[in-house]
Amino acid sequence: MKKFFKIVKDTNPELRAKCKEITEITPEIISFVNEMHDYLIASQDEKISQKYNIREGVGLAAPQVGRNIRALVVYFEEQTDEGVHIVDHRLINPKIILESVKEVYLSGGEGCLSVDVHHEGYVYRHNKIQVKAFNVQTQKEEIITARGYEAIVLQHEIDHLDGILYYDRIDKKNPFVQKEDAIRI
Ligand SMILES: [Zn+2]
């Protein structure tokens, strides 16, 4: 791991700020996004995460590492019928352009590298979304379609760019409220 980031926690008001659009995609911004990606992969390596005492994550947004700009990364592997599928997004200025009415939630709730105290409850998200963004890997503006868990992670990270944390979306009075028709995963 080239760069060791310090994660901004939710006790820091900076995490609540709305992040700025990136107007010029410079080589420095590209390297920064790739460094966030490297950090995420390292966090999923048991030896590294133990050695550096970092928590495992599947997504990371720029404000979580102290930069108020609209960039995020998502990385995880998932088992599908066709084998292991790698989800790898490195996005600049992501914008949700389409979202399904159908909702989805994680039965165990969500977690966040910036939140040390687990907040119990369901976070309902759109089951399918389309995101328009500059893709760092292809160096092009693209439209990404995501469903289920991938859609949840992307929405969680995009929320960070607007200063929103997952527990803001938990029903305070009834954290485990059951919504009809929502997909449970
Ligand atoms: Zn988070």
What would the pLDDT profile of 162-176 be if each residue is shown by its tens digit?
A: 999 999 999 999 999
Burial 107-135 (b: 16+ CB within 10 A, else e): eebbbbbbbeeebebbbbbbbbbbbebbb
Residue 52's pLDDT is what? 82
Residue 95's pLDDT is what? 98
Residues forming beta bridges with residue 89, ordered by sequence position: 74
Residue 61's pLDDT is what? 98
**CATH, domain 13-184, list 2.115.10.20, 3.90.45.10, 3.40.50.720, 3.30.460.10:** 3.90.45.10
Residue 2's pLDDT is what? 53
Q: Which residues contact 124 (CB under 8 A, 6 or more apart)?
A: 103, 104, 105, 169, 179, 182
Q: Mean pLDDT, the chain, as a whole number? A: 95
CA–centroid distance, residue 178 to ligand 1 (Å): 23
CA–centroid distance, residue 114 to ligand 1 (Å): 6
Residue 143's pLDDT is what? 98
Which regions in the chain score pLDDT beneath 50?
none
CA–centroid distance, residue 33 to ligand 1 (Å): 16
Residues forming beta bridges with residue 74, ordered by sequence position: 59, 89
CA–centroid distance, residue 164 to ligand 1 (Å): 9
Residue 86's pLDDT is what? 95
The reported pTM is 0.96
CB atoms within 10 A of CB 6: 9
CA–centroid distance, residue 166 to ligand 1 (Å): 7
CA–centroid distance, residue 41 to ligand 1 (Å): 16
CA–centroid distance, residue 141 to ligand 1 (Å): 24
Please indicate whether residue 120 is annotated as part of the active site.
no
From the candidates 103, 110, 150, 157, give the one annotated as an active-site residue: 157
Residue 1's pLDDT is what? 52
Residue 51's pLDDT is what? 86
